[in-house]
Amino acid sequence: MLIVVNWPDTTLPCVASAILYETEMNEGYVLTEVMTQLHDLLKPLDPSERTKVIKAALTLLGDPPNIAPDKPETLVDEEEGDGAEVSFPPKVRGWMKSNSITTEQLSHVFHFDGGEFEIISGDAPGSNNKEKTINAYILTGLRRYLKAGDAKFDDKDAREVCRKFGCLNEANHATYMRNAGNVLSGSKGSGWTVTGPGLKAGAGVVKELAGA
């Protein structure tokens, strides 16, 4: 049996408004859920990788991926007369952003010359030789990190930096390195790598040397 309800004219707009409101609320909830999940998926990636993923997803959906790329952080190569700029690898830009490191601060610690970064600071922070030595090793790894996006380096290179800083204590050096904590991994023979905690500590070293 078909039941026909004759709604008063004043009731219909109210019903329509209620349906529209509920639809908008549901759409808002869905968007919030999508954004939350997207945030969780993109969080571990570097900024440039996030852009690539979003562009690829839009392309698969048939939408134009009109996303402006992030402007890379740069340093000016002062050896070049035309003021050529040096772009950092994506990992380095992510490190700079997450630790609030500026190119101005880096320029107080490193100098770019012909494709290489040189440590120009005259000392490493620390209240004793052990702290200075570990920070010298971290700076050696950062020098490589700024250029290539990885922080692996040879022991002999770090020893040269320690010698430059006047903190190379041959008698106790091996002991210092055995007790470097979680900022470095590796060994004299296989080489060293600045770890995640080490890169964070390195950001503090740069800020301290830059007088931030």
pLDDT of residue 72: 47
Query: Measuring CA to CA, which residue among 172, 173, 196 is closest to residue 183?
Result: 196
Q: Where are the domains of the chain?
A: 74-210
> What's the pLDDT at 15?
45
Query: Mean pLDDT throughout 99-112?
Result: 93
Instruction: Supply the pLDDT for residue 28.
Output: 56
pTM attached to this predicted model: 0.63
Give the chain's radius of gyration (CA, Å). Answer: 27
Each residue of 34-73: pLDDT tens digit? 667 777 787 777 666 777 777 777 777 776 666 554 444 5
User: Read out DSSP for 101-135?
Assistant: --HHHHHTTEEEETTEEEE--S----SSHHHHHHH
Q: What are the contacts of 179-188 at 24+ separation with CB within 8 A? A: 179/130, 180/134, 180/137, 181/134, 183/134, 183/138, 184/134, 184/137, 184/138, 184/141, 186/152, 187/155, 188/155
Average pLDDT of the residues in 20-24: 53
Indicate the helix (H) or strand (E) that contains 38: helix 11-42
12/9: higher pLDDT: 9
Q: What is the pLDDT of residues 127-164, one digit of tens each?
A: 999 999 999 999 999 999 999 999 999 999 999 999 99
144 or 77, which is more confident: 144
pLDDT tens, 169-206?
Answer: 999 999 999 999 999 999 999 999 999 999 999 999 99
The whole-number pLDDT of residue 81 equals 40
pLDDT at res. 75: 52
pLDDT of residue 115: 74
Look at residue 109 in the predicted model and tell me its pLDDT. 96
**DSSP 8-state code for residue 183:** G
